Structure 1
Amino acid sequence: MAPKRGNPKIKEHSFQPEGEKPLSKPFTVKLTETMYNEVKGQDNPGKFVRDAIQEKLDKQKNSSNDT
């Protein structure tokens, strides 16, 4: 019988998304080099982009509700 390998506590060290909903859908966008460098310079680039998108969606939703 082959020896067991791997980390038996892998779930303790796996990626845990922030918030209630799982982050399961990838989305790719093209950026200028300047935008790319500014985003990559953030402490948490993924969260920065998600927050920016959510902020824009909220603004758009609020402006359509005001009409």
Structure 2
Amino acid sequence: MPGTKSSGRPGGNPNIKSYGFKTDRSEPLRENLQLRISASMKEQLKSRENWQEFVREAIAEKLKSV
């Protein structure tokens, strides 16, 4: 049963590093940011493919120009 002491493989997965998440970024994405936007802006963002990366790039571009 999940969540009990007898659940899972005894000793864990010895090859866990082989199955872990990998990224090609120079810096990991560990922080969260929340902001309020209008409903129309949210619709426009959600209609884009890979909208999260679009927002990251837009913020980075704006920070460079400051």
- The percent of aligned pairs where both chains have the same amino acid is 29
User: Greater helix share, 1 or 2?
Assistant: 1
Question: Which runs of 5 or more residues in structure 2 are unaligned?
Answer: 1-5
Give 5+ residue unaligned stretches, structure 1. Answer: 61-67
Shift of 1:10: 6.2
The alignment of Structure 1 onto Structure 2 pairs a total of residues equal to 58
1:17–1:23 CA contact under 8 A, matched in 2:
no
Structure 1 length as normaliser, TM-score? 0.65
Residue of structure 2 aligned with 1:59, choices 48, 55, 65: 65
User: Could you say which structure has the greater relative contact order, defined with CA pairs below 8 angstroms and 6 or more residues apart?
Assistant: 1
> Runs of at least 4 residues of structure 1 off by over 6 A?
none
Q: Quote the RMSD (CA, aligned, Å).
A: 2.6
